[in-house]
């Protein structure tokens, strides 16, 4: 005769089963949280590296073709906070105290040379290029209205100078570029006095100008950035922030710039450990050796394990934000030797 399980045996077996299931659930839940945390960390590192790559490339090119003081569009010369026109630093002007940075350089593949038949006055609205020179017409055809054109004088006995104009129209077959006159802009008038002439021969090319800033406002109609998902944005036409700006990397919470300055003492070796500054005066512009770019990358969602302090860390001269969330964050930094910038600052 067969006997069934007793109540005690059933209870004991059920208890053991519950313990095993509970242990398995705890293990599975822990593994799931760890996997989510690893995904957030990988996402954060990918975004941080991409931001550093884009910003580092722009910083390395900055200054190419500026040939000293670039004037005409930025209003450089009247603003002591922007002494280096190849990298314009707008300190603590963005979302949550972030910086904005504009990088300026000349496109080396589109260089053309002016060749006027007679002297051109400073208030000109047309730049002429010889169509007899090889590839001038082909290169000019790649210029578009609203682009910027940068020209510099390499034969002036008083030193190199360079200017920026905004293009209004291009006639590549005729070698003509119509530009908006810079007369009335203080910095341009200081470099090219109204009534005087521009250099007869200048090296010109399309100017590559990129401004990077943090968009964290979901109500302004500019970019996809919100307080929950701040975005690194790029502007290419000097009207930031605007609806045509390009989102570069999501979940970038802060952008900061600092300068390494040489003390001009030949008896001591340069050390950036004590020479970094978040501000730059006109008098020490020529002493810039390196630029340090920093971003804070944040995960796209909070970490369920609550392993993070939940606040934006202090970075350069930007103070830390109050705690209050569980977003993982990490600081990414790149230090760039700004060769073109230092060269133009010394000219």
Neighbours of 184 (CB within 10 A): 9
Do the beta carbons of residue 222 and residue 243 sit within 8 Å? yes
Count of structural domains within the chain: 1
Asked if the structure places residue 21 within a domain, the reply is no
**What is the model's pTM?**
0.81
DSSP reduced 3-state for 341? helix
E strands of the chain, at which residues? Answer: 70-71, 87-90, 100-106, 112-113, 126-128, 148-153, 161-171, 176-179, 203-215, 231-235, 246-250, 252-261, 276-277, 288-298, 329-337
Rounded CA-CA distance 343/247 in Å is 31
Does the residue 226 lie in any domain?
A: yes
Residue 24 lies in a domain: no
Q: 42 to each of 38, 47, 303, 327, 329, how far by Cα in Å?
A: 6, 9, 13, 14, 12
- Cα separations in angstroms, 330 against 67, 82, 129, 254, 296: 37, 29, 50, 11, 6
With cut-offs at 50, 70 and 90, classify the pLDDT of residue 51: very high
- Domain annotation covers residue 52: yes
Domain range for 299 = 43-346
* pLDDT, tens digit, 9 for 90 and up, residues 90-149: 889 888 899 999 888 889 899 998 887 778 888 999 999 988 887 888 999 999 999 999
Residue 30 lies in a domain: no
Residue 241: is the preceding peptide bond cis (ω within 30°)? Answer: yes
258-307 pLDDT tens trace: 988 877 666 666 667 667 888 876 556 667 788 899 999 998 888 766 66
């Amino acid at each position: 005769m067969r006997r069934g399980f007793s109540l005690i045996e059933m209870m004991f077996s059920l208890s053991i089963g519950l313990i095993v299931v509970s242990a398995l659930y705890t293990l599975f839940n822990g593994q799931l949280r760890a996997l989510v945390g690893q995904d957030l960390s990988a996402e954060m590192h990918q975004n941080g590296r991409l931001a550093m790559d884009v910003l580092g490339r722009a910083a390395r090119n900055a200054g190419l073709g500026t040939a000293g003081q670039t004037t005409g569009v930025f209003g450089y010369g009247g603003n002591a906070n922007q002494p280096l026109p190849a990298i314009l630093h707008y300190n603590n002007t963005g979302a949550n105290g972030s910086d904005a940075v504009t990088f300026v350089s000349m496109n080396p593949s589109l260089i053309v040379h002016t060749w006027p038949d007679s002297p051109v006055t400073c208030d000109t609205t047309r730049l002429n290029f010889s169509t007899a020179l090889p590839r001038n017409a082909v290169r000019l055809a790649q210029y578009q209205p609203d682009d910027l054109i940068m020209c510099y004088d390499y034969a002036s006995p008083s030193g190199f100078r360079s200017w920026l104009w905004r293009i209004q129209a291009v006639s590549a077959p005729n070698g003509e570029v119509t530009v908006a006159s810079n007369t009335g802009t203080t910095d341009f008038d200081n470099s090219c006095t109204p009534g005087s002439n521009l250099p007869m021969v200048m090296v010109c090319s399309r100017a590559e100008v990129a401004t990077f800033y943090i968009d964290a406002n979901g109500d302004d109609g500019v970019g996809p950035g919100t307080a929950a998902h701040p975005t690194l944005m790029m502007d290419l036409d000097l009207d930031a922030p605007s609806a045509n700006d390009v989102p570069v990397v999501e979940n970038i919470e802060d952008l900061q710039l600092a300068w390494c300055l040489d003390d001009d003492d030949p008896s001591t070796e340069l050390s950036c450990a004590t020479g970094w500054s978040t501000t730059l005066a006109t008098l020490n512009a020529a002493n810039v050796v390196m630029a340090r770019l920093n971003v804070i990358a944040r995960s796209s969602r909070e970490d369920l394990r609550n392993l993070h302090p939940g606040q934006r860390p202090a970075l350069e001269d930007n103070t830390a934000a109050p705690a209050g969330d569980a977003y993982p964050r990490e600081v990414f930094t790149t230090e760039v030797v700004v060769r073109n910038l230092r060269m133009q600052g010394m000219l």
